[in-house]
Structure 1
Amino acid sequence: MLTTIPGIGPIAAAAIISEIGTHPAEFFASDAHLTSWAGLCPGNHESAGKRKHGTPRKGNQHLKPLLVEAAWSAVRTEGRLRARYHRLVLRFGGYRNPAAKKKAIIATAHTLIVNIWNVLAGDTPYTDLGAGFYDRRTDPERETQRLIAKLNALGHTVTIEPAA
């Protein structure tokens, strides 16, 4: 069932199963516990109310690089993982920033291990939510009101008419 997840082939699936087993729910209470053990949870360093650079923790030395390689493969196939990667790269600084790509691929590997835990714990194959998953989540009416408010703040008067 792991091979239904984009980026994971038979060899990678065998390596993942050798590290976490076929029933990860026996050893890890939730997907968050598994991601923390693998070293793919985001780092957190906060002091005096200020969020500073938090480096991700060291995790399983066999599983983490494998999942990063699988994430690189997954972002080359059409689907939700690719859309998530592209959104994160833009959020972290754009395509010309190598650090943004690295941060985004670690976050994609995090999403990948969450999917792995859900597939193995739920004993169900992976179903991709599609490349347009993030576009469908936005409410068109709410987005319209946000853009109108932004234009009004810039000093423009906006009138809305229904499309023909």
Structure 2
Amino acid sequence: MIIRHARDSDAEQFESFDLGGSGPWLDEVAEIVAGLVAWRSDPHVAHLDRQVVVAVTDGHVVGVTAHERLGRSGGRVWNHHRYLMVTAVRGDQQRTGLARQLVESVLADLASTGCESVEWLVHPSNRPSIEFSRNVFPEADETQPPEDDPYVSFALVL
């Protein structure tokens, strides 16, 4: 497996990324993954330094994660803090540790470049993502701030 930054040529694989099922969370994730190349390349938000990282096996994208600089209302951006927007693994690769390996690789890379923290949101009804976050990152601060309602916020200090 190779972990690398996404390329424009990955767009076709993103559009047909098989999450192994459907449902409210998987449909939302599939929609996000399908649009990652455009999301990353949006010139109006270049200051957010959007990054898409993929795990590739035998030329096929089997996992993907995306993150950007953390921003708040009013246009303030924190250069050393990131928001992890999505992590997805193909259905036939789930429960193999791939998501953990991919996210840990990204976090290590971010830490090496001076990133101080990473945040992500999960809907409280999305049990698989809540369990992943709690099991893989038990040191992450888990809260449900009112501004993110109904989402649960996880914050990890690197």
Query: What TM-score comes out, normalization by structure 2 length?
Result: 0.25
Larger Rg: 1
Structure having the larger proportion of residues in helix? 1
TM-score by length of 1: 0.24
